[in-house]
Amino acid sequence: MRTLEDLGDLAGKRVLVRVDFNVPVRDGTITDDTRIRAALPTLKALRGRGARLVLLAHLGRPKDREPEFSLKPVAERTSELLGVPVQLAPDPGNVPDGDVVMLENVRYFPGETKDDEGLAAQYAKLGDVFVNDAFGAAHRAHASTHGVARLLPSAAGLLLQREVETLEGILTDPKRPLVAIVGGAKVTDKIGVLDAFLARADTILIGGAMCFPFFAAQGHSVGDSLCEQEGIEPAKRVIAEGGDKVLLPQDLVLGRAFDAGTDTQTIVGVEVPDGWMGLDIGPRTAERYSEVIARAGTVFWNGPMGAFELEPFAAGTRAVAEAVANAPGVTVVGGGDSAAALTQFGLADRVTHLSTGGGASLELLEGKPLPGVEALR
């Protein structure tokens, strides 16, 4: 994969940079600027080599040009963090000649998500060189991630380079033992990752609502728990192929409803009574998982252990997050809710690598080619 070192002299050149600034915005205010901060090393490195920047980014899924999806607050926050003015350009045909310019939400433009060649050509006219630093969007073949990379000398930014090298390293040369922690709601969403780790990991720890198809496959009652019926057969196969490598919860925290004020109980075992739903792993499971994590050479974590956003059901995810943060080995967290949990518990700065790309990181681990990455090879 081509990197910034392959671009040569950038003094006076205009560099088109695809960044992942798809940040949460509420009432015009950014509530979490982590993704903007993650791109700063690349932006500063390019400016340090004398380049002028044109930034491409998306925000949300606009259907037209709804104002709530404007990148105006993103440009303002980027300006504050970079310490230079960042001008916002309305469209590819109206871009001012500044040191740092940000094009409006690329999903405002027809053809962006269809990898339209004409739109990619419009982007290409805005720069001499293209740098993709948007790992979170690299699994999409869009005009601003894939199409434009074929029209300009192109390379990976520092963030994208680190993401790819770290995640590919887990698959090709991990420090042993390799422990994969896989949680979340659906087995079908994670079956590709589970298959990848069945072949490579020493231990797989299962948590979250996705454990209930596993229990159903074993003949246990799941009560009113969220149990994806389509996930039962894949779960049965993972159990058969994984054997002792796959660890499931031994106890559960139950609630009457998905609500912070609901009645709760902790059960030993995994037989969920009617009228109750499993909403977290129990303390015995949390302790067992933490012991496995503490002995790991490499840990990959994607997906919470329960409904951590509700305090009565946060203990399992908190325990796993703390175990990952305290682990002596290499620790990689695959974005999404796992990243949100680390942030909630104040542990985001205590892992080796916190991925900025949820879907992209999973697809890379599954062995799928990412269009935005392949275009840079």
- For the annotated catalytic residues, the residue numbers are 35, 186, 336, 359
The CA angle 354-358-362, to the nearest 5 degrees, is: 100
Q: HSE of 177 in the Cβ direction (CA atoms, 13 Å)?
A: 15
- For residue 375, the 8-state DSSP code is T
Residues β-bridged to residue 181: 205, 301
The three-state secondary structure class of 91 is coil
Cα–Cα distance, 175 to 30 (Å, whole number): 38
Cα–Cα distance, 210 to 314 (Å, whole number): 16
The answer to whether the peptide bond before residue 41 is cis (omega within 30 degrees of 0) is no
Q: Could you tell me which residues come within 8 angstroms of residue 230 by beta carbon, excluding any fewer than 6 positions away?
A: 187, 188
Cα–Cα distance, 18 to 112 (Å, whole number): 13
Cα–Cα distance, 158 to 343 (Å, whole number): 22
Q: List C-alpha distances in Å: 239 to 64, 183, 209, 214, 348.
A: 46, 15, 16, 8, 32
Q: Could you tell me which residues come within 8 angstroms of residue 367 by beta carbon, excluding any fewer than 6 positions away?
A: 171, 192, 196
